[in-house]
Amino acid sequence: MKKFFALLLALTMVLSLAACGGKEETPAEKPAEGTEAPADALPGEGMEIALVTSKIGTQVFLLQMVEALNEAAEKYGFKATIVECADTAAFEENIRALVAEECDLIIGGGWEAGDALNKMAAEFPDAANYALIDSEVEAEAVKCISYYEQQGAYLIGMTAALVTDGESHTYGAVHVNEGAGSWKWRYGYMEGVKAIDPDAKFIFNYTASYSDPAKAKELAIQQNEQGAMFVNSACAAGDSGTFEAALEKGFYTSGQDVDLTDPSNPYIVTSQIKDTYQSVTMLIDEFFSDSYDNSNSTWGVAEGTIGAVHVTHESVNPIHERLSEEDMALLKQAAEDIASGKLDLINMPTEEEYNAG
Q: What is the residue extent of each domain of the chain? A: 2-32+42-147, 149-274+305-356
Edge-to-edge strands, sheet with 306-308: 201-206, 170-175, 230-234, 252-257, 268-274, 306-308
* Of 356 and 69, more confident: 69
DSSP string, 280-332: HHHHHHHHTSTT--S--EEE-GGGTSEEEBTTTB--SSPPPTTS-HHHHHHHH
- Helix 149-164 / helix 325-340 crossing angle, nearest 10 deg: 160
Fold matches, 2-32+42-147 and 149-274+305-356: yes
- What is the residue-averaged pLDDT of the chain? 91
Q: How far apart (Å, rounded) are the C-alpha atoms in residues 331 and 156?
A: 9
Task: Provide the 10 A C-beta neighbour count for residue 84.
Answer: 22
Range name among 31-35, 53-57, 254-258 with the lowest pLDDT average: 31-35
Q: What are the C-alpha distances in Å from 277 to residues 62, 66, 135, 199?
A: 9, 8, 16, 38
Chain CA centroid to CA 258, Å: 9
- Structural class in CATH, domain 149-274+305-356: alpha beta
How far is residue 240's CA from residue 218's CA, in Å, rounded to a whole number?
Answer: 12
The pLDDT of residue 7 is 41
pLDDT at 67 over 70: yes
Q: How confident is the model at residue 41 (pLDDT cuts 50, 70, 90)?
A: confident
Pairwise CA distance, residues 26 & 244, whole Å: 41
Q: What is the mean pLDDT of residues 135-153?
A: 97
Query: CA 131 to CA 117: how far, in whole Å?
Result: 8
Domain at 2-32+42-147: CATH architecture: 3-Layer(aba) Sandwich (3.40)
Q: How confident is the model at residue 204 (pLDDT cuts 50, 70, 90)?
A: very high
How far apart CA 61 and CA 234 sit, in angstroms, is 15
Three-class DSSP category at 140: coil
Q: What is the CA radius of gyration of the chain?
A: 22
33 pLDDT tier (thresholds 50, 70, 90): low
The pLDDT, as a whole number, for residue 15 is 36
CA distance 188 to 89: 36
Which one is predicted more confidently, 54 or 10?
54
Listed in sequence order, the residues at least 6 apart from 103 whose beta carbon sits closer than 8 Å to its beta carbon are 48, 49, 50, 81, 128
Interval 53-71 mean pLDDT: 95
Length of the chain: 357
pTM given for the model: 0.88
Give the CA distances from residue 344 to residues 82, 355, 356, in Å, rounded to whole numbers and listed in that order: 37, 19, 20
The pLDDT value given to residue 81: 98
Contact 104, 49 (CB under 8 A): yes
| Neighbouring C-beta atoms of residue 291, cutoff 10 Å | 5
Given a contact cutoff of 8 angstroms between Cβ atoms, the answer to whether 103 and 48 are in contact is yes
Compute the CA torsion angle 90, 95, 101, 106 (nearest 10 deg): 140
pLDDT of residue 179: 84
Q: What confidence category does residue 180 fall into, taking pLDDT thresholds of 50, 70 and 90?
A: confident
Q: What does the pLDDT read at residue 38?
A: 62
130, 168 contact by CB (below 8 A): no
pLDDT range class, residue 39, cuts 50, 70, 90? low
